[in-house]
Every structure is written in structure tokens, then in C-alpha cells.
Amino acid sequence: MNNDSPARNTKVMNRFDLTSRLIAKLKNEEAVIGGIGNTNFDLWAAGHRPQNFYMLGSMGLAFPIALGVALAQPDRRVFALEGDGSLLMQLGSLSTIATLAPKNLTMVVMDNGIYQITGAQPTPGATVADLVAIAVASGLTNSSWAADEDDFERLIEKSMSAEGPTLIGVRIDDKPGTGTTRRDPVQIRERFMHGMGVREPL
Amino acid sequence: MAVAEEKTSPETSAKSWHGILLETLKRNDVRLVPYVPDRILTPLIKNLHADPFFTTFATAREEEAVGIVSGAWMGGMRSAVLMQTSGFATLANVLASLAIPYQIPLIMFVSERGTLGEFNYGQSLVCRTMRPVLDSLAMEHHTITRLDELEFIADRSIKQAVTTQAPVALILSPLLTGGKVFDK
């Protein structure tokens, strides 16, 4: 968390802890798309599931990929985990998602105000931009900051029966990811498709 | 909407490049078509919107559309992306880090600006980057110039992308579409 950030009434939490809390709530083979770097490292560390998809590049595309899954499988709940720096690369995708308004999509923005993995440089938005306000202004009216861990869990639960897409912003600390995803893109994609029920293993 | 419906009448659509493309997409069960628009693609985009078989919408960037269709493919839905030459030029990173390594059958239709009568210098320059990028990634690509070859190339390329799990770029030449000229 950048020290120059304005005072906020949101607790600074931890990415791995929040990701673990989310995964613990999943009982219906929900899809989870993890953005590049620490976001998917912590998803991996929280316990691999066939319904997890781990990005190894294409920074900023966690929400668009999740939108595609949500459109293809409207009966499955889809979660997307994205960093603040990544989201700044594809702010336009928030409007696309607001227009299509899939009710089965829950987006989580992990906001520490820094590019942690490249050396903790502050993002251009660190001290000035409010990503939840940007999401609301992009048409995602069901967007809010989680005040603390309990509030995060409450917002996740609430999103599962929402009438439209949900975005949850969480302030996180500057800790690196807990694990390291095995970097095998073909296997990641193939296992995810098994997890989505699209294919059977050979 | 009335205009779009007129354009989908079988007499006009079956013979036009965009009518052939729409039917080829449908026959191959390509249902999701995000796009960043282009003047030349307008009749195709209008007709896709008018046909309830398709889910079609604009995205803010071409990269975003590639992300969406990658997710849709993994969720079991076939898709294609429509864009212009200049939009393709924004895709090198996502092709090299998502579509190719994850073996996504990304189907791209690129309306070709920058050649055969281009009036914007920047368009003619960016057009020259397209085939070198495709070749440097060893990606399948075809430039479609003739109406009588369109269906064969598009249909076979979609099937090949799906069965070989590899992206393909189909470049729609001004020789096929008429292109965009200064006095339009």
C-alpha cells in the first residue's frame, strides 16, 4: 500500500488470505480466472482446482477471459481475480462487461497501488484513482470496496445471487504471491476445459 | 434494424462477401463475434447484430476481444474477432502470450487498410507490420482477394483452427471488399 494514498475506511488485507477465503466458499465447480503474476500465484497456492485458469501473460485480460467463460456457460458462476495495475491496462473492458451484464460474473480487484512483482513501483493510479468509482462510472453499478475480511466474504456471497455483474475492490498489502504456478500453458488450458465440462481427458 | 434486415435478404446476402462470411460462421457454429469496427466491416456487423444466432458486440480494444473469445472457447463456445489492420497491430503480445501458447483456435477477420489506394500514410505503414508479425509467430494466415474463393478459404480455415487448436488470421483484401478510398 502506497503511503501517499488518501485515508480510506478500508482495511489493508492480504491477497493469499482473501483468495483462500474465496476458494473455501466454492461448492459448485465455479470457474476462477487468475490474472498474471501474484494474483494467479496466490490462486495456485490456495489449492489447485480444475476450474482454475492461470494467466502467464496478456496482462489485463483476466476480466475479458472471465467474461468469455461467463457468456459461454451462463449457468456457471465465474470469478475473476485481477490486480490494480493489470486493470488499469484494460479499463475499457469494464464498460463492455457492464453492457453485456452477465449475472454470473464476480470480479475482484486486488489493489496495492504497486507493481509488486516488478519491484514495487507505484502504479500511475496509486495516489489518485479510485478503481471502484471507475467501475461504477463504467456502468458496473454493483461495485464496492470491501471494508474488511468479513465484508469481503459477505460481498462474495451476495454476488452469487446478484442480478448483474459484481465488482469487489480490496485493499491489499505489498506482499508477494505465496506460491508459483507451474508454467505449462497447454496443460493449464486443457485441465481448465476438463473442469468446465467441455472435454474429457484422453 | 429495418435496414439491417433488408441486407440479410437471401438475394443480396448470398452473393456478397459479407453474406458469404455470415453464413460460413453460422455453418461452423461460430456464435460469439466481438469486434472493433471498421467502415468496410459495417454491413457484416449490422447483419450479425440483426441475426439472433449471433452474440455480437463492440469491445474497447482488440486485445480485449481476444481475451473474451479465448474464455468463450475454453467454456465451449466458438467465436471470431473482427478488426482492422491497425487493430491487428496491437495484438503481438496477446498472440504470443495467450492464443498461441495456450493453443486457442483464435479466428480473426482483418479488414485490410493500408494498401491498394490507401490515403492515410499511417495506415499504409502499419499494414506493413501485419504479415511480418504473423510470419514471425509462424501463424496460419490467408489474404482473401476473390469472392469465389472466400467460402472455401474461410470454411476450411475455421475448421483447421478448431481441429489443430491454432489461431488463424483471414485478411479481407480491398480486392474482395472494395476497400476504403479517399472520396468515400
A150-176 pLDDT tens trace: 999 999 999 999 999 999 999 999 999
Distance from CA of B37 to the nearest CA of A (A): 14
* DSSP element (H, E) containing B68: helix B62-74
Whether the Cβ atoms of residue B114 and residue B85 lie closer than 8 Å to each other: yes
Which tens digits make up the pLDDT trace of B85-139? 999 999 999 999 999 999 999 999 999 999 999 999 999 999 999 999 999 999 9
pLDDT for residue B6 is more than 50: no
pLDDT reported for residue B165: 98
* Confidence label for B13 from pLDDT (cuts 50, 70 and 90): low
- Domain coverage including residue B154: 2-177
Q: Is A171 helix (H, G, I), strand (E, B) or coil?
A: strand
pLDDT reported for residue A7: 61
Whether the Cβ atoms of residue B35 and residue B56 lie closer than 8 Å to each other: yes
**Closest alpha carbon to B59 in A58, A128, A24, A93:** A93
At residue B162, φ and ψ (nearest 5 deg) are -70, -45
Q: How many helices (H) and strands (E) does chain A have?
A: 8, 8
**Phi-psi group of A171: left, alpha or beta (phi > 0 → left; psi -120 to 50 → alpha; rest → beta):** beta
pLDDT reported for residue B181: 83
- Average pLDDT over all residues of chain B: 93
Handedness of CA B87, A82, A23, A143 (dihedral sign): negative
DSSP one-letter string for B100-143: TTTT---EEEEE--SSSS---HHHHHHHHHHHHHHHHTT-EEEE
Provide the residue ranges of all domains of chain A, joining segments of one domain with +. Answer: 15-195
* Confidence label for A8 from pLDDT (cuts 50, 70 and 90): confident
Nearest to B76 among A65, A91, A196 (CB): A196
Which CATH number characterizes residue B140's domain? 3.40.50.970
* Grid cell of B104 as nine digits: 486457442
B9 domain residue, yes or no: yes
Percent of chain A at pLDDT exceeding 70: 97
Residues β-bridged to residue B155: none
Helix axes A15-24, A38-45, angle to 10 degrees: 50
Q: Is A67 helix (H, G, I), strand (E, B) or coil?
A: helix
Q: Is A34 helix (H, G, I), strand (E, B) or coil?
A: strand
The residue with cell 496509486 is A126
The residue with cell 487468475 is A34
B156 domain residue, yes or no: yes
Which residues of chain A have a Cβ shorter than 8 Å from any chain B Cβ?
31, 33, 53, 55-58, 60-61, 63-73, 76, 90-93, 95-96, 99-100, 185-186, 188-189, 192-193, 196-198
Nearest to B97 among A57, A70, A100 (CB): A57
Please provide the CATH number assigned to the domain covering A15-195.
3.40.50.970
Q: Is A155 helix (H, G, I), strand (E, B) or coil?
A: helix
pLDDT reported for residue A106: 98
pLDDT reported for residue B4: 43
B183 domain residue, yes or no: no
Nearest to A189 among B76, B79, B102 (CB): B102
pLDDT reported for residue B8: 47
Which tens digits make up the pLDDT trace of A139-148? 999 999 999 9
pLDDT for residue B10 is more than 70: no
pLDDT reported for residue B9: 47
pLDDT for residue B7 is more than 80: no
- Dist. CA A65–CA A21, nearest whole Å: 22
Question: Measured at the alpha carbon of residue B18, what is the angle toward residues B14 and B24, in degrees to the nearest 5?
Answer: 70
Q: Is A65 helix (H, G, I), strand (E, B) or coil?
A: helix
Helix axes A92-100, B62-74, angle to 10 degrees: 50
B182 domain residue, yes or no: no
pLDDT reported for residue A9: 84
pLDDT reported for residue B180: 87
B14 domain residue, yes or no: yes
Which tens digits make up the pLDDT trace of B153-184? 999 999 999 999 999 999 999 999 999 887 65
Which tens digits make up the pLDDT trace of A48-106? 999 999 999 999 999 999 999 999 999 999 999 999 999 999 999 999 999 999 999 99
* Nearest chain B residue (CA) to A92: B60
- Dist. CA B79–CA A155, nearest whole Å: 32
B16 Cα distance to chain centroid: 16
| Count of domains observed in chain B | 1
* Confidence label for A6 from pLDDT (cuts 50, 70 and 90): low
* Number of cross-chain residue pairs from A and B with Cβ atoms under 8 Å apart: 125
E strand segments, A13-165: 31-34, 52-54, 78-83, 105-111, 114-115, 121-122, 143-145
Q: How many Cβ atoms are within 10 Å of A74's Cβ, its own excluded? A: 12
Q: Name every residue whose Cβ is closer than 8 Å to that of residue A16 and which is 6 or more positions away in sequence.
A: A42, A45, A46, A175, A177, A178
Q: What is the pTM of this model?
A: 0.95
Q: In terms of DSSP bridges, do strands B168-172 and B81-84 run parallel, antiparallel, or are they unpaired? A: unpaired
pLDDT reported for residue B110: 98
Q: Name every residue whose Cβ is closer than 8 Å to that of residue B118 and which is 6 or more positions away in sequence.
A: B124, B127
ipTM for the assembly? 0.96
